Amino acid sequence: MVFVFMCCAGIMTISFITSCGKNAGSISPATSHIEFQVVNLSPDLHPVSLYIGTYKQNNQSYSYPNPSGYFSITNVSPPIQIRSAVSTESAVNILSIDTLIMHPYFKYSLFITGLKSDSTVTSFLTTDTAGPPPAGRGKIRFVNASPHSSAFDVSANDVIAFQNQPYKNISDYILIPPGNYDFKIMPAGQKTVISTYPKFTVMDGKVYTLFCRGVAGGADSVAFGTGIITNR
């Protein structure tokens, strides 16, 4: 099986967007077609909420380790803020991105990782908009969101798909034939499997992000694990 690497989407380019007036950043979800999601992968962080330009964007909080799924946003003015969703701490700002620009018809994911216990909570924003794969192929990429981790290799049905992926790295999308896959994660350059995402069906024309989270070798609340997001 041959995997073909494609440079379709990577880390969101952060730049400044100017605004004027109190509601300059407000947008109509129906016309902007911007989709956003929060992926809380910080094992010891309380549930959180998303604010954009000081306007709360969610009705339900985002808890480890489940992606929120895509939703429409109502504001594009910076900053993007992650705040505690605990009622007694709702004003506590955990993370902030002060400069950004978002484009109509694009999808974005805000990954939250790190550990509250050692003050390493951090985030990174990805652009999830990618062109469709050619007929008879799907696309997939890998995100290493495991705090304190070394680099990882990832295999698909025992064929290496991603190599030497460091913490907070977002790989390029690769093309992959449709079918059922066992994705296995190993320390870079080793054959010891530390996590498996078994029997996942890659569909023709679909685009996916495989991610890891938790601490390699950790147990209980910080146990290492994997997940998959359907981007398209």
Per-residue model confidence (pLDDT) at position 120 = 95
Output the six-digit token pair for 117: 């216990």
What distance separates the 2 farthest-apart alpha carbons in the chain? 57
229/109 Cα distance (integer angstroms): 10
pTM of the complete model beyond 0.75: yes
Which residues on neighbouring strands pair with residue 81, listed in sequence order?
51, 96
Whose tokens are 């216990």? That residue is 117
Per-residue model confidence (pLDDT) at position 13 = 33
Amino acid occupying residue 100: L
97/52 Cα distance (integer angstroms): 9
87/70 Cα distance (integer angstroms): 24
Beta carbons of 182 and 199 less than 8 angstroms apart: yes
> Strand, helix or coil at 60?
coil
Rg of the Cα atoms in the chain: 18
**Residue ranges of domains in the chain, CATH in brackets:** 4-230 (2.60.40.1120)
Closest CA to 190 of 151, 140, 139: 151
Per-residue model confidence (pLDDT) at position 196 = 97
> Strand, helix or coil at 226?
strand
Residues near 87 by Cβ (< 8 Å), separated by ≥ 6? none
What are the 10-residue block averages of pLDDT along the chain, 232 residues in total?
39 33 67 93 94 91 95 91 86 87 93 95 94 96 95 98 97 98 97 97 98 91 94 94
Per-residue model confidence (pLDDT) at position 24 = 55
Per-residue model confidence (pLDDT) at position 92 = 82
